[in-house]
A = this chain, B = another copy of it.
């Protein structure tokens, strides 16, 4: 029995897990499970993840695991996607927690409200845009000095943060204002073998 990923291919939190598995050469089955609908509230799904969130995976031994960054950390344990140096491993974790707390709710959130809930700009809390811009500005300041989020090495931090940053324009953010972020997105997409999500 291979790894089974329950996820929505439109959502970066799910794609992170897919890309991590592919980078590590881990076989998986993908079960398309739309976010925001009833698919995560069935009795079968809630047995796997009572939090009713995607992605959720079922491991080879039949046990389940949730939270995109926890799944990626588990799959990548001992691999080159996690720094061996304790300090840089901790900095990678800092980026992963920051991503879920200070980046995803705004950069991914605004995209979700626009694309999947059909909200127009005037219906959206302006604070979401402010916080998203702050997140991108922080990345810009850091990525001006280093090619990866953890210097010298592609890690889970790049995989996690590229997932929604590369489609930030779909949430109304202009990566043209953040040139170091834009270059980094192109670099990580190339390393992961992804088609560029941004035009121009």
Q: Show the binding face of A for B, using Cβ within 8 Å.
A: 50-51, 53, 59, 61, 63, 65-71, 73-74, 77, 86-87, 89-91, 93-94, 96-98, 100-102, 104-105, 138, 141-142
Do most interface residues of chain A lie in helix, strand or loop, or is the interface mixed? helix
Residues of chain B within 8 A (CB-CB) of A65 are 87, 90-91, 94
Copy number in the complex reads 2
**Beyond A65-B87, A68-B97, A101-B105, 9 extra complex contacts between A and B, CB < 8 Å:** A50-B138, A50-B141, A63-B87, A69-B97, A70-B93, A70-B94, A71-B90, A74-B87, A101-B101
Q: Which residue of B lies closest to A46 (CB)?
A: B141
B67 touches A97 (CB 8 A): yes
Query: Which residue on B lies nearest to A87, using beta carbons?
Result: B63
Q: CB-CB < 8 A to A97: which residues of B?
A: 67-70, 96-97, 100
Chain B residues with CB below 8 A from A63, complex form: 87
Tell me the complex Cα distance, A101–B67, Å: 9
Q: How far is the CA of A93 from the CA of B59 in the complex (A)?
A: 16
Q: 21 A–B contact pairs at CB < 8 A?
A: A50-B138, A50-B141, A50-B142, A51-B138, A53-B102, A63-B87, A65-B94, A67-B97, A68-B97, A69-B93, A69-B97, A70-B91, A70-B94, A70-B96, A73-B90, A74-B87, A74-B93, A96-B97, A100-B101, A101-B104, A101-B105
